């Protein structure tokens, strides 16, 4: 009896669903990604062997080699509230749009009087603006840098208490270490007196604990 020959067919795979999925993923990441703004200051801090990581939520004062101070707050909600408080301190009434722009502006190093004009520029124009640092007083008076640190401490505490109360009401675990921390990052060529004045700003604002951000160097080898 002759054998029956089965028709031979080349297997095929429909790639349409996979292509659709790839485009969906690309679209998702394009819509949800946030691009980091170009920093107005780049510093080369002194090195140390400490391997402790930089806090995720931080109020950071950066001091460049010329002694100019820049601030940044990585917690968006707290950053917006601090901006409103500092503006109120100097009788400035920012719009909601200006608050939103400030929240995503990255590090800032200019007086509060010039900040609104800076925020009115688009992203490309802002990169061309030379920022000369936030004014701070070296005679013990409360300069603008003091008020940034002062209101950052108040709003950080309020945010912590609010999240703690919300976790308690919802009977959720609460990480008490998840607190906005304060830090100073100074260029290795910055003068000692300048860094001392910046640290004094934290003390005057009653910031009891803060960190010094340094570069990482390898530990000396044991002999």
Domain assignment present for residue 26? The answer is: no
Domain assignment present for residue 56? The answer is: yes
Helix H or strand E encompassing 215: strand 215-216
Domain assignment present for residue 37? The answer is: no
223 pLDDT above the threshold of 80: no
Check residue 56 and give its pLDDT. 75
Handedness of CA 111, 114, 116, 120 (dihedral sign): negative
What is the total count of domains within the chain? 1
Domain assignment present for residue 92? The answer is: yes
Radius of gyration of the chain (CA): 25
Domain assignment present for residue 13? The answer is: no
Check residue 16 and give its pLDDT. 75
Domain assignment present for residue 6? The answer is: no
Domain assignment present for residue 163? The answer is: yes
180 pLDDT above the threshold of 80: yes
Which residue range forms the structural domain that includes residue 102?
47-216
With helix as H, strand as E and coil as C, how does 78-99 read?
A: HHHHHHHHHHHHCCCCCCHHHH
Note whether 181 and 60 are within 8 A (CB): no
Q: Which of 82-86, 121-125, 140-144, 174-178 has the lowest mean pLDDT?
A: 174-178
Check residue 164 and give its pLDDT. 87
Domain assignment present for residue 17? The answer is: no
220 pLDDT above the threshold of 60: no
**Quick one: the chain helix, strand, coil %, rounded to 5?**
40, 10, 50
Helix H or strand E encompassing 29: helix 16-32
């Amino acid at each position: 009896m002759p054998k029956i020959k089965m028709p031979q067919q080349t297997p095929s795979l429909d790639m349409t669903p996979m292509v659709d999925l790839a485009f969906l993923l690309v679209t998702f990441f394009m819509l949800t990604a946030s691009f980091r703004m170009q920093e107005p200051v780049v510093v080369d801090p002194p090195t140390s062997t400490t391997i402790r990581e930089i806090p995720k939520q931080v109020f950071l004062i950066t001091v460049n080699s010329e002694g100019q101070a820049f601030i940044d707050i990585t917690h968006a909600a707290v950053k917006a509230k601090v901006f409103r408080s500092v503006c109120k301190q100097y009788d400035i009434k920012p719009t909601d749009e200006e608050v939103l722009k400030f929240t995503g502006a990255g590090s800032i190093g200019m007086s509060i009087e010039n900040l609104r004009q800076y925020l009115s520029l688009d992203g490309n124009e802002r990169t061309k603006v030379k920022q000369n640092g936030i004014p701070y007083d070296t005679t013990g008076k409360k300069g603008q840098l003091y008020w940034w640190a002062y209101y950052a401490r108040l709003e950080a505490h309020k945010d912590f208490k609010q999240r703690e109360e919300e976790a308690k009401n919802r009977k959720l675990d609460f990480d008490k270490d998840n607190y906005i921390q304060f830090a100073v990052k100074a260029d290795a060529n910055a003068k000692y007196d300048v860094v001392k004045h910046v640290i004094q700003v934290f003390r005057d604002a009653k910031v009891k604990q803060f960190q010094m951000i340094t570069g990482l160097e390898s530990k000396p080898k044991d002999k």
